[in-house]
Amino acid sequence: MDVGMRSVLNHRLINIRLIGIVLIGWSGLLIFGLVLTYVLVTPSMTLIIDRSYCPLDQWQTQVVIPYADLYRKYEDKELKIESITLFRPWPKSSAGIRPKSKAKRWSFPLA
């Protein structure tokens, strides 16, 4: 073989090795990303708010502030809120007996 042919073969071998190294690097990066996605999963929750939980004068401190903290974490993608369910208290009747109808329920699924 002459010198020109060896030069072409050496360049081809170098190109094949370079392409192999790049492919191994991208494959490693892809695998690392998938592992991080499945290992560091964002916790998800369904939030249930019972309006009879506390008196109206304590609603701000016992319900609104903790909900605001959860919503901030949701916006920062630290947790995932799947849905929010609001329950109303049973209406009080004069006889003290619960009515036959079920409690009002609202559900707000988050997209």
So what's the pLDDT on residue 96?
Answer: 45
Most distant CA pair in the chain, distance: 109
So what's the pLDDT on residue 22?
Answer: 96
Yes or no: say if 47 and 11 are a contact pair by the CB < 8 Å rule: no
So what's the pLDDT on residue 101?
Answer: 44
So what's the pLDDT on residue 98?
Answer: 45
Q: Count Cβ neighbours within 10 Å for each residue of 34-65 and write b for 16 or more, e otherwise.
A: eeeeeeeeeeeeebeeeeeeeeeeeeeeeeee
Q: Which residues pair with 18 in a beta bridge?
A: none
So what's the pLDDT on residue 36?
Answer: 84
pLDDT tens string for the chain (111 positions)? 566 667 777 888 889 999 999 999 999 999 999 888 788 777 888 888 777 767 777 777 788 888 888 889 888 888 888 888 877 665 555 444 444 444 445 555 554
Closest to 72 measured CA to CA, from 64, 109, 39, 38: 64
